[in-house]
Structure 1
Amino acid sequence: MEKLADFKICADKECSYVISVAKALEDYVASDCRYINLRQGQMIYVFSKLKPAEGAGVFWSGSVYGERYVDQMGVIGYFPSNYVNETHVFQKKTVEIPTTDMDFFCA
């Protein structure tokens, strides 16, 4: 799979902490297994924000949250940042790290 970006912004060097919480503004249907489906009104934990190449779309990675979506909770995937609104930022201080092929691996 192609890399969506060369760098990502995370709360820590391992991208294991949540940067923020966002709310889906509209539905988004994942195009392949690198992405997650979003439903309007759904809350998403944001773990990283890809730093896009010039002219590329802006994607974030995260996991959905909510009792209605238990089957999807814990699955981390990408989604377009313009489909969500950040509602609470936990980590204002972030680190920029290079992406790897594993960041975009699709089984």
Structure 2
Amino acid sequence: MSYPLVILLCVGLLHQTTRAVLMDKLADSKICGDAECSYVLSMATALDDFVAPDCRFINIKKGQMVYVYSKLIPEEGAGVFWSGSVYSERYVDQMGIIGYFPATVVKEMQKFMEETVQMPTANVDFYCD
């Protein structure tokens, strides 16, 4: 194999792995426990399965525990989405991945933060790799 062909192959592979996309915003503001949205607002239990339509979202299985980090404030007529991560011994590979899900697929079981802050969403909130 010649060097130019190897270089072209490497550049092509690198180009494919760095194709990130800025997705449409789901809301212009959100509610968080702190300015970085790093504190868990609440713990919820999944009432139903949810399959992520794109990389902004997470997959949720019925019965999983979900840590809620932020709640998007919807526009008029838009859906209500929350941001969080799942916890389950059966789905360890998903733990720690934060993404959005419809608030309707979970039931809040325990609130950890009574005082919250409302802040604008940023473009990086809806960035897909």
Q: Place the TM-score, normalised by the shorter chain, in its bin.
A: over 0.9
Asked if 1:15 corresponds to 2:57, the answer is: no
C-alpha separation between the residues in 2 aligned to 1:64 and 1:40? 11
Tell me the alpha carbon deviations over residues 13-72 of structure 1, each in whole angstroms, 9 at most, x when there is no partner: 110000000000000000001000110000000000000011000000000012111100
C-alpha separation between the residues in 1 aligned to 2:94 and 2:49? 15
**Which residue matches 1:47?**
69
C-alpha separation between the residues in 1 aligned to 2:48 and 2:37? 26
Shift >3 Å, 4+ stretches: none
- Superposition TM-score, scaled by structure 1 size: 0.99
**Which residue matches 1:65?**
87
**How large is the RMSD of aligned CA atoms in angstroms?**
0.5
Match of 1:95 among 117, 121, 129: 117
Give the number of the structure whose alpha-carbon radius of gyration is greater. Answer: 2
- Superposition TM-score, scaled by structure 2 size: 0.82
Question: Structure 2: 5+ residue runs without aligned partners?
Answer: 1-22
C-alpha separation between the residues in 1 aligned to 2:113 and 2:87? 18
Question: Structure 1: 5+ residue runs without aligned partners?
Answer: none
